[in-house]
């Protein structure tokens, strides 16, 4: 494998991890600020993915 290609793949993977972590933190922070609930990163991201017209429509199945 070409070293430049390896470094490009490694750099892309690191950017993906960094962005995922930042988005997960923001989702958890928003959930805590709005509803005073703490949830895992995965469940917070799943709740953020759901399209909702009203905040009352968001199911909070975090247990």
What pLDDT score was predicted for residue 63? 44
- Residue pair 27/48 in contact by the 8 Å Cβ criterion: yes
User: What global pTM score does this model have?
Assistant: 0.57
- pLDDT, one tens digit per residue, over 9-37 is 999 999 988 888 888 888 888 888 888 87
Q: Which residues of 11-23 are buried (b: 16+ CB within 10 A; e: fewer)?
A: eeeeeeeeeeeee
């Amino acid at each position: 494998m070409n070293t430049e290609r390896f470094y490009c793949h490694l750099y892309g993977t690191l950017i993906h991890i960094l962005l995922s972590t930042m988005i997960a933190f923001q989702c958890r922070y928003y959930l805590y600020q709005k509803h005073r609930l703490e949830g895992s990163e995965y469940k917070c991201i799943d709740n953020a993915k759901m399209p909702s017209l009203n905040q009352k429509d968001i199911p909070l199945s975090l247990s």
